[in-house]
Amino acid sequence: MFDRLPLKTYLYFIAQSVNLTAAVMSVTMAAVIGAQLAPSPEWSTLPYGMQFLSLMLATYPASKFMSVYGRRAGFHLGSLALAVSGITGFYALQMGSFYGVMVSHAALGGYIAFANFNRFAATDGLSAALKAKAISLVVAGGVVAAFIGPWVATLLRSVGDFSDFALCYGFFVLLAVISAAVNQVTPIAEMTDSANSAIPVPLRNSSNWDLALPITVAAVGYGFMNLLMIQASLQMAAMHTHFQLIGVAIQWHVFAMFAPSFITGYLIARMGVNRLVLLGLVLLSTSAMINLFYLSQASILIALVVLGVGWNFTYVAGGAMLALRLEGKKEAIKVQGINDLIIAIMATAGAFLPGMLLVSVGWSGTNAGVAILTLALITYFITAIRRAAAKMQVIK
């Protein structure tokens, strides 16, 4: 499947594995550390919230920086932010400083803002036929992270005289070194108009492709995924589910998010990007409906797996759709920055809203809302695609 992809794609796969390993470790650690150090229980999720807030604020500046100084300089700056996160987190825990942990997670969010561009950098200079496969492989780095992240966090949680989790943050420094080393040896492709020749004529005509469509699909998919994933763990806790079982459910969810990436590129080639996006939206809606009509630990686990696969299809296929539209365009990095900024905004909302919605409208109300909004998005998507097809017929 990936035999025609260049070496740089596999290097970006490693870089993305580093990125997602740090992200998964932060999910595993942040709430526990916050509960231990926060001056008040309601502040326990602030470090994780700061991470998403920083990610949101840094995403567009990161794209601007890369558009001026290049991909390599941007990824190196991101690696530096990861090292800062590790150093400040290590000393914050050694000193028992809650606010130091918040600074560490803010720096981590800055790193992730840069590292999230790995999937787009992997498509630079590739033909249209390879772009979806490249994004698919890079996003698959999450499969590595789903296992390495929790394993390292558990392994380094309590070691010798170090404070709990201090060495986990120290591990971020090692990840930063790996990230910088991979970035340094990765060939950087310059985007030129000549690459346009590899794209079918309909995709090269800007009037035939709606930029809002792939951006909306990827952003809404990410926001709903974050919302239901976090609220599912809260709901399972309210059902007195053992913490270990909650962890297993989340781990299978993360696996379902990234494992399909090994075949998503193939599915896009076989089914077409539009059909795969539509399938992803249907799966998101199905996940919410499972939660709406069934309530058990098993049903929530099944819904989380369906949710993960739905997120993968909307995120990868949406990114491939955007990459195809931007091929050979000088403004590509800036538009990618806007795309990731909107995704970050939705992800941040999805991280802050679960608790409030669980209290205000409940588990059923949240899932009913997600199901209705997803069905509305499906309608919008089908309408937009039909309009685009009609315009292409007029042009022909």
Domain ranges of the chain: 1-190, 200-396
Tell me how far CA of residue 235 lies from CA of 254, 302, 367, in angstroms: 18, 14, 12
pLDDT at 255 exceeding the cut of 50: yes
CATH class of the domain at 200-396: mainly alpha
Residue 188 has what pLDDT? 75
List of residues 6+ apart from 106 with CB closer than 8 A: 50, 51, 53, 54
Q: What does R_g of the chain's alpha carbons equal in angstroms?
A: 21
- How far out from the chain centre does Cα 240 lie? 29
CB atoms within 10 A of CB 107: 25
pLDDT tens string 156-183: 988 888 998 999 999 999 999 999 999 9
Strand, helix or coil at 289? Answer: helix
Global confidence as pTM: 0.72
- Please report which confidence band the pLDDT of residue 329 belongs to, taking 50, 70 and 90 as the band edges: low
Strand, helix or coil at 165? Answer: coil
Percent of the chain with pLDDT over 70: 87
pLDDT tens string 266-283: 888 888 888 899 999 999
Point out the least confidently predicted range of 15-29, 103-117, 170-184, 227-241.
227-241
**Domains 1-190 and 200-396 are alike in CATH topology:** yes
* CA quadruple 62, 207, 267, 381: dihedral sign: positive
Both structure tokens of 91: 């000393």
Task: Round to whole Å and give the CA distance between 273 and 131.
Answer: 11
Higher-pLDDT residue of 256 and 134 is 256
For the segment(s) 1-190, the CATH number from 1.20.1250.20, 3.30.70.120, 3.30.429.10, 2.30.110.10 is 1.20.1250.20
Q: Do 90 and 169 touch, CB atoms closer than 8 A?
A: yes
Point out the least confidently predicted range of 148-157, 348-357, 359-368.
348-357
Task: Round to whole Å and give the CA distance between 228 and 358.
Answer: 10
